[in-house]
Amino acid sequence: MNKEDWDDMRIVLAVARAGSFAQAARLLHVNESTVVRKVGCAEQRLRARLFDRKHGRVTPTEAGHALVQRAERIESVVQDATDCIRDADSRIAGTVRLTSVPLMVNRVLIPLLPDLVRRHPHLEVDLVADARVLSLARRETDIALRLARPMDGVRAVTRKVGELHYAVYSLRGADARSLPWLTYGTGMDMLPQVEWTQRLMQEGSPRSVVRVNDGEGLLAGALAGLGRALLPTVVGDRIDGLVRTDVDRPPLVRELWLVVHSDLRRLDRVRVVMDWVVQVCADITPEGAQVQERSLSQMCG
């Protein structure tokens, strides 16, 4: 395979992931016409249509899917080679992408990040605040901190690193028991937070009148006096203006799981970030919580 072939495959891969020529062009920092032309060249050379174009979006054909799968394997090999070269340098340098839900990234990880940056000034941490489950296999992230046991397949290494304990919060001075609930919107009914809140509403608590799509929205709503919100104690206890509200129900607890791609776990820069995440989770987990006894060296072995 020559360089031109790989360039075309790289663009085909970007189009498949982005779902449009325009978005792929933005991701690749090239003109949309260049993307269209490269895809056309690949289709002509392979004598096969790679994408169906409908309603402004493009989706891979059967031939397109086959090419995308091969391109992902090549991309993985190239990335592995690049990782090995970068980590040949003894200092901790390079970029590590870490993802978690927005509330964890914005309210827990970022405030504690300065210590890691001071210790490793050549390290770059790319924090992705996203409620979606980003793919380790497609290198959408290197490390993920998740609030449930991961299901990432055989190429992912997982470890329970802590627990997230929740409590109900409302605006200081408000009549908490008369406040409605703030909860998540349509399509998020399977979240443990939603199930926990709905049971209280079924038992006679005021119904929910405001729904949001992430924890930051719950926090903002509680601060605005719109209602009560179920929040992690590590977040709610640190917010001026919010107070805990007693409810007749056992508190919600969610597990914290660290996930890393098996091909990356031995890289020094990745291990440094993993160590830091493990320590952060240990620090925010209440004493007495059950955390998996497994050292990081075993996880990386």
Beta partners for residue 156, in sequence order: 261
The predicted model scores a pTM of 0.66
Residues 6+ apart with CB under 8 A from 20: 56, 57, 58
Label each residue of 153-169 as H, E or C: CCCEEEEEEEEEEEEEE
Q: Do domains 3-85 and 89-287 have the same CATH topology?
A: no
Look at residues 166, 167, 164 and name the one whose alpha carbon lies nearest to residue 246. Answer: 167
Longest Cα–Cα distance of the chain, Å, equals: 70
Q: Sketch the domain layout of the chain as residue ranges.
A: 3-85, 89-287
Fold that domain 3-85 belongs to in CATH: Arc Repressor Mutant, subunit A (1.10.10)
Residue 228: what residue type?
A: R
- Burial zone of 133 (CB within 10 Å; 0-12 exposed, 13-18 middle, 19+ buried): middle
Q: Which CATH class is domain 89-287?
A: alpha beta
Distances (CA, A) of 184 to 33, 77, 107, 136, 230: 41, 40, 19, 26, 10
First to last CA, the chain: 34
What tens-digit pLDDT sequence spans the chain (301 residues)?
555 577 788 899 999 988 889 888 888 888 899 999 999 988 998 899 999 988 778 899 999 899 998 888 888 888 777 766 655 555 788 999 999 999 999 999 999 999 999 999 999 999 998 888 777 777 788 999 999 888 766 577 889 999 999 999 999 998 888 888 898 887 788 889 988 988 887 766 666 678 888 899 999 999 999 999 999 999 999 999 999 998 878 889 999 999 998 888 888 899 999 999 999 999 998 875 555 544 444 455 4
In degrees and rounded to multiples of 5, residue 53 shows phi and psi of: -110, 115
